[in-house]
Structure 1
Amino acid sequence: MLGLSLIAAGSILAVTISNIGTAEAKPIDVVATTSMIADAARQVAGDRAKVTALMGPGVDPHSYRQTRSDIVAMTRADLVLRHGLYLEAQLEDFFLDLEKRKNVVAVGEAIDPSLLLNFAGHEGRHDPHVWMDPQLWETVVLAVRDALINTDPEGEATYRANAQTHIADIKKLITYMKSVTKTVPEHSRVLLTAHDAFSYFGRGFDFTVMGIQGISTESEAGLRRVEELVNTIVDRNISAVFVESSVPERNVRALIEGAGARGQKVEIGGTLFSDAMGDPGTYEGTYIGMIDHNSTLITRALGGDAPATGMQGKLAAGS
């Protein structure tokens, strides 16, 4: 009987130790403002974090205001990852207050300021759309990694290994983008979109980029700006302009009508992901898929050569 008791006691102790281990391995709670940052956190953290994105598909971060449930989620989180660079303009005051009490990291601000583009008309501010150039986004991934390590030091080895794997995938994406975008004819290398979110893409891959609205969707597109762009479309014989998933397309439609009145036929080249990714659970709902979609669509619409299904054959053909 004594032997059975000892065995039973040992079994109970083993279960208890196992439960303690499980409790210690409970995922940390991470809240990210944008879907792009949330994707980086998921790629780097793996099972060590439960990641929630505040802004889903089609949501414009420039005009987003926190909800009651957002406030609850962020005040309870172990780590809050925000973009910074004044992207979440309506949340700035809230974050200034939250940072006094919670672990909040502005991962976009890890990028060397000398590599950032200026925000025209706003002294001391920079264009926040750095995810459009994967060469810059690598730095953001590393900032996410470091924030996770500081929050959960026991997971450091996991975070470092996962970040290395994700950055290797981003480098493959960069190679693909360079190979396909260079096939766009020189005279067609003009990317005209609803708002000026693609300047980093243009700088990194040699496109002239024009937005009807400014860097922020909060700015208004005046009649003079629309007229200027119509002149550009006609002068440069531009045949395709692009709408964005998170910005109303009425201004793009106005451009097409204006160019048509001047005898220039212009088509919508497709819908680009600018400030938000695609639907969760889809390839386009990942950072890699988002940028693959954009670069493939831009290349094909402007007369270049890229496979319809993208870098990995995962894009919905013709999307």
Structure 2
Amino acid sequence: MNSYRFEMARRGWIGLMLAALLVLTACSASQGGAEAEPGDTGSTLKVVTTIAQIAEPMSVIGGDRVNVESLMGPGVDPHLHQPTPGDIQKLDGADIILYSGLHLEANMLKAFEQLGKNKPVIAIGETIPEDQLLKDEDGAIDPHVWFDIDLWKQALDAATEELKKASAEDADYFETNKQAYFAELDQLKREAEEKIADIPKEQRVLITAHDAFGYFGRMLDIEVVGLQGLSTESEVGLSDIERTVGLLLEHNVPAVFIETSINPASVNAVIEGAKQKGLEVSLGGELFSDAMGAAGTEEGTYIGMYRHNVDTIHTALTGKED
């Protein structure tokens, strides 16, 4: 069996397995005892998200009235993630499911469709007006909206409204937490604008493994080049590497970057290609793109992850230590 047919068969079996598991969990829930409804006095909302960029901010906004769990941890690529039976069980036990959407978690859409028949399942990125979203040359929407702080605030606002619907008595509490958190995000945006503006204009070029930083570039006025497309399923060709090397030479860019959830091979090929052309390009550091850092670390928070990226880019492209 060739690799394409094998992959199609594998995906088919995974789909059947997940469908069967969804039926089993639904039957189990219908046969069990009565459970507290979301929003009942004294209950804690159980929220399950796909990515930590949703989970960590919502844990801040939800406070002690919400239990938030993310399915995808450090180093996990949401473009490629296949839902496991454990994922389905966690999703089935949630009061609210929040995912980014815009085709980021493409392999989980069937599960979300089934689960959405019985509980709120919200693609928070899809609450943003389409005219504010970026598209590639083929018309595909860029799903990495968390890198535009203002857009991500819109998405988190929509998620907060879901918490309010589920637990109306806690609505004021959620709103107060959200406003305090959004003030921190506004300060983060100001810091990021100052840092990126300090990079010389001609060297303000961000080169990474895949095209995850388009919103970051638009918001902070920095040119962004991703060797792969919007999804990590796309291939990197020799022409992509040669084009990127040419850009490095044109702008005399001193550094390129790898990502925590992406194989660094393509970026290393760019560094080697530039060296062969007489330009020494360094590895500027590791950026968080589709996944955040480990829970309990600064980079495991949305604000800490974003600040780490800004500081890493600033240091590598200016030579100044932050």
Q: TM-score, normalised by structure 2?
A: 0.85
Quick check: 1:62 aligned with 2:85? no
| Structure 1 residue 103, shift from structure 2 partner | 1.4
Structure 1 vs Structure 2 CA RMSD? 1.3
Following the alignment from structure 2 to structure 1, what is the Cα–Cα distance between the partners of residues 87 and 102? 20
User: What fraction of aligned residue pairs are identical, expressed as a percent?
Assistant: 43
Equivalenced residues, count = 283
- Letter of the aligned partner of 1:66 in structure 2? P
Listed one character per residue, the Cα deviations across residues 235-263 of structure 1 (whole Å, up to 9, x for unaligned) are 22111000001101011011111111111
Following the alignment from structure 2 to structure 1, what is the Cα–Cα distance between the partners of residues 283 and 106? 29
Following the alignment from structure 2 to structure 1, what is the Cα–Cα distance between the partners of residues 93 and 300? 26
Preserved CA contact (<8 Å) 1:111 1:140 = yes
- In structure 2, the gaps of 5 or more residues are 1-39
- Stretches of 4+ aligned residues off by more than 4 angstroms: none
| Counterpart position of 1:16 | none
Residue 89 (structure 1) aligned to one of 75, 99, 106: 106
| Counterpart position of 1:251 | 266
SS where residue 278 of structure 1 aligns? coil
| Counterpart position of 1:53 | 70
Following the alignment from structure 1 to structure 2, what is the Cα–Cα distance between the partners of residues 173 and 206? 16
| Structure 1 residue 282, shift from structure 2 partner | 0.8
Preserved CA contact (<8 Å) 1:183 1:304 = no
Following the alignment from structure 2 to structure 1, what is the Cα–Cα distance between the partners of residues 173 and 147? 27
Query: What is the correspondence of 1:77-226 to structure 2 with a 5 Å cutoff?
Result: 77-121=94-138, 123=139, 125-226=140-241
Residue 243 (structure 2) aligned to one of 218, 225, 228: 228
Preserved CA contact (<8 Å) 1:180 1:304 = no
| Counterpart position of 2:294 | 279
- Letter of the aligned partner of 1:64 in structure 2? H
SS where residue 176 of structure 2 aligns? helix
Following the alignment from structure 1 to structure 2, what is the Cα–Cα distance between the partners of residues 164 and 218? 37
Residue 73 (structure 1) aligned to one of 86, 90, 95: 90
Following the alignment from structure 2 to structure 1, what is the Cα–Cα distance between the partners of residues 115 and 43? 24
- In structure 1, the gaps of 5 or more residues are 1-22, 309-319
Listed one character per residue, the Cα deviations across residues 107-159 of structure 1 (whole Å, up to 9, x for unaligned) are 111112111001332x4x41010111112111112111101111111210111
| Structure 1 residue 218, shift from structure 2 partner | 0.6
Bigger radius of gyration among the two: 1
Listed one character per residue, the Cα deviations across residues 212-252 of structure 1 (whole Å, up to 9, x for unaligned) are 10111010101111111111112221110000011010110
| Counterpart position of 2:12 | none
Following the alignment from structure 1 to structure 2, what is the Cα–Cα distance between the partners of residues 54 and 162? 24
| Counterpart position of 2:45 | 28
- Letter of the aligned partner of 1:219 in structure 2? S
- Letter of the aligned partner of 2:214 in structure 1? S
Q: TM-score, normalised by structure 1?
A: 0.86
Preserved CA contact (<8 Å) 1:83 1:108 = yes
SS where residue 286 of structure 2 aligns? strand
| Structure 1 residue 67, shift from structure 2 partner | 0.7
Listed one character per residue, the Cα deviations across residues 37-94 of structure 1 (whole Å, up to 9, x for unaligned) are 0012101100011111000011100001111011011111100001111110111222
| Structure 1 residue 101, shift from structure 2 partner | 2.2
| Structure 1 residue 304, shift from structure 2 partner | 6.8
Quick check: 1:264 aligned with 2:282? no
| Counterpart position of 1:13 | none
